[in-house]
C-alpha cells in the first residue's frame, strides 16, 4: 500500500476495542449483548455504516460455507456481519496493526473467532494463497492506494476461477481538488483518487470481467447532506466511528459531505468476475 507508514499513522490508535466495549456498556448497560447488531453503529468503518455493508452484501451474494476475503477489513465489522448473516467464513486483511488487534478482540467478544480470521497485511501483497477464496469485497480502501492495478491483480490472484469481487469506492469527481481532512487522509499525501473511468479500466487491466459498474453518487447525495446537517447541528452520537478515530472525525465527515455536494468526489459500486 502506498506510503504505508503514513497511512498506518492516520488510522492507528491504541485501545480501540477497549474504548468500543466501554462505550457500548455505557450506552446499553453492563449486561447488554455484544454481537454484530449491537456493534453496528461503531464497527462499520466506512461511509454510511452498516447500511452500505448491507447493500454490498446484496451485490456480493455470499453463500453458506463459502470463503470470503475482506480487503482492508478495518476493525472487522463487515466481516463479522457477513459471517453471521450469511453463514460463511470471512478472512480480513488490513495494514493497520491496531485495527487487526481490535478486530481480533471484538471477534472474541462476539464469539465469532471461529468464523472470522484477521491477518495483518497489505492489499498489494495479500498474505493468502492463490485461488483460495470464492468471493472478495473491499469498501472505501483503494483511496489510500496509488498502485491500484497491482491491488486489483492481487484480488484476481486469490480468487478461484469464476469468483467475484464487489467494491464500493470513492472516486475523483470533476469539481476540483478535495477538501481535507477526510476520513481516509488528513492531507493529499496519502489520498489517491481515480476517476470512475480509470477505475473501470484498472479492473479490466487486472483481468476482471465487468459484471456491473454504476455511479451511485446522485442517489446517495440526499442522505449525505442530511448526515452533514445532523453532525453540524448535533455533533457526534454516543456510539460511532469517533471511538476509532477520535473527535477529528467530525471535521472529516463534514468535509467528505462537502466534497460530494460539490462534485469533487463520486461514489461507485462494482461487481467484477475472474473468468473461469
pLDDT digits (tens, 9 = 90+) for 107-147: 999 999 999 999 999 999 999 999 999 999 999 999 999 99
Contacts of 189 (CB under 8 A, 6+ apart): 3, 6
Domain parsing of the chain, residue ranges: 4-172+189-220+264-273
How far apart (Å, rounded) are the C-alpha atoms in residues 250 and 252? 5
CB atoms within 10 A of CB 73: 30
Residue 11: predicted pLDDT: 87
Q: Which single residue is written with the C-alpha cell 500500500?
A: 1
Residue 1: predicted pLDDT: 37
Fold of the domain built from segment(s) 4-172+189-220+264-273: Rossmann fold (3.40.50)
Burial 99-127 (b: 16+ CB within 10 A, else e): bbbbbbbbbebbebeebbbbeebbbbebe
Provide the pLDDT confidence category of residue 255 given band limits of 50, 70 and 90: very high
What mean pLDDT is predicted for residues 74-83? 98
pLDDT digits (tens, 9 = 90+) for 88-106: 999 999 999 999 999 999 9
Provide the pLDDT confidence category of residue 2 given band limits of 50, 70 and 90: very low
Residue 6: predicted pLDDT: 67
pLDDT digits (tens, 9 = 90+) for 180-225: 999 999 999 999 999 999 999 999 999 999 999 999 999 999 999 9
Amino acid at each position: 500500500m502506498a506510503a504505508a507508514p503514513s497511512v498506518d499513522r492516520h488510522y492507528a490508535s491504541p485501545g480501540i476495542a477497549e474504548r468500543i466495549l466501554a462505550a457500548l456498556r455505557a450506552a446499553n448497560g453492563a449486561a447488554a449483548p455484544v454481537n454484530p447488531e449491537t456493534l453496528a453503529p461503531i464497527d462499520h468503518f466506512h461511509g454510511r455504516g452498516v447500511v452500505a455493508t448491507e447493500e454490498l452484501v446484496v451485490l456480493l451474494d455470499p453463500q453458506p460455507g463459502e470463503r470470503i476475503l475482506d480487503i482492508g477489513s478495518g476493525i472487522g465489522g463487515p466481516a463479522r456481519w457477513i459471517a453471521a448473516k450469511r453463514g460463511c467464513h470471512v478472512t480480513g486483511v488490513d495494514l493497520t496493526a491496531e485495527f487487526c488487534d481490535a478486530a481480533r478482540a471484538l471477534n472474541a467478544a462476539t464469539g465469532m473467532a471461529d468464523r472470522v480470521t484477521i491477518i495483518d497485511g497489505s492489499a498489494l501483497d495479500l498474505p493468502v494463497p492463490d485461488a483460495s477464496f470464492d468471493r472478495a469485497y473491499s469498501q472505501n480502501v483503494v483511496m489510500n492506494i496509488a498502485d491500484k492495478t497491482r491491488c486489483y491483480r492481487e484480488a484476481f490472484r486469490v480468487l478461484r476461477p469464476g469468483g467475484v469481487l464487489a467494491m464500493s469506492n470513492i472516486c475523483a469527481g470533476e469539481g476540483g481538488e478535495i477538501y481535507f481532512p477526510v476520513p481516509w487522509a488528513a492531507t493529499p499525501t496519502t489520498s489517491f483518487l481515480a476517476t470512475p473511468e480509470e477505475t473501470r479500466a484498472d479492473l479490466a487491466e487486472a483481468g476482471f470481467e465487468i459484471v456491473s459498474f454504476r455511479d451511485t453518487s446522485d442517489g446517495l447525495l440526499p442522505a449525505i447532506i442530511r448526515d452533514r446537517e445532523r453532525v453540524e447541528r448535533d455533533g457526534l452520537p454516543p456510539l460511532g466511528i469517533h471511538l476509532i478515530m477520535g473527535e477529528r472525525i467530525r471535521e472529516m465527515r463534514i468535509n467528505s459531505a462537502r466534497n460530494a455536494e460539490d462534485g469533487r468526489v463520486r461514489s461507485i459500486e462494482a461487481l467484477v468476475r475472474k473468468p473461469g
